[in-house]
Amino acid sequence: MNEGTVGIKLPNDLFAGKSAIVTGASRGVGRATALRLAEGGANVAVNYLSNEVKGDETVRMCQERGVRSFPVKGDASSFVDAQRIADRTVGEFGGIDMLVLNAGIWEGAPIDKMTEETWNRVLDTNLKSAWSMAKACVPSMKERTSGSIVLVSSTAGQRGEANYSNYAASKGGQISFTKALASELAPKIRVNCVAPGWIETAMVRPAFEDAEYKRQVIESIPLKRVATADDVALSICFLLSDWARHITGEILNINGGAVLCG
C-alpha cells in the first residue's frame, strides 16, 4: 500500500514559515499528510502512540523534503500528553499554525457483545484525542491570531455502521465537534473536517483480505476505486491552506461518491 506521495506536486512555499502537528503520523493518512505538509514547506511535529520505528521514518521522510521535523511519542487522548506535545512543538518551532487530528482506531462488535473497554478505547482514541489536542494547541494559535485545524472523521459518522456503533459515535462526534469549534474559534482560527470512506491503509487491510468483499466495496463506489492515503492528505492540505481561507465548519466527503451527502 502506497503511503508516500504520488502525482500532484504542491507548491513548496504553500506552507512556508508555518508549523504543524499531525497526530497518528507514523503511517497511513497521518504519514501521507505529514509528507504533503513538508512538501509544502511546513515544519512538522510527528506524533505517534507506540511505533517508534515508523514515527522516526516519517520524520526522516519529512526532513528529506527540506523542512524541520521531530518525533513526539504520546497518547493524544491524554491531556497531559497532548499538552506535552503542544509545548514541545512551541519550543521547537516557536508556535503552532496547523493541527491535523488524525489519531484513530477502528474496532467494533455487535452492541450486545461489545465490552465497555472496547467502547471507551475507541471513543477516547478517536474523539477525546481531538478535544485534548485542540485544548492544548488553541492557545498558541490564539497567540498567533491565526490557525487551521482539520479533523479526520469518516462516512461512518454520517450514516452509521452496523457492528461499529462505538466507531460511528466517535466519528459523528468529531463532525459535531468540528462545527462547534468552527463557531467558537472564528474569525481567526478555521476548523474543518474530512470524512473519508474506504482507504487503502493498514487499518483496513484485514477487511480486504477477503478478495470478494473488496471487489464488492469497489463496485459500490462510483469512481470504482478505494481512496489512497494521499487522496485524503491532499484534501486535508487544501483545507489547511489559504486556498480554503473562506471555509470553516465544513465536512469534506472523500469517498468516490459512495455516500452522496448533501
Cα separation of the two ends of the chain: 31
Kindly state the cell numbers that stand for 111.
Answer: 452492541
Residues 82 and 93: their CA atoms lie apart, in Å, by 16
- Edge-to-edge strand ranges of the sheet holding 189-196: 69-73, 43-48, 19-22, 98-101, 147-152, 189-196, 251-254
Q: Are the beta carbons of 20 and 44 closer than 8 angstroms?
A: yes
The distance between the two most distant Cα atoms of the chain, rounded to a whole number of Å, is 52
Q: Are the beta carbons of 5 and 27 closer than 8 angstroms?
A: no
Residues 32 and 35: their CA atoms lie apart, in Å, by 5
Set 48, 164, 167, 213: catalytic member? 167
Nearest in space to 73 (alpha carbons), one of 96, 52, 54: 52
Q: Is 48 a catalytic residue?
A: no
Catalytic annotation, residues: 167
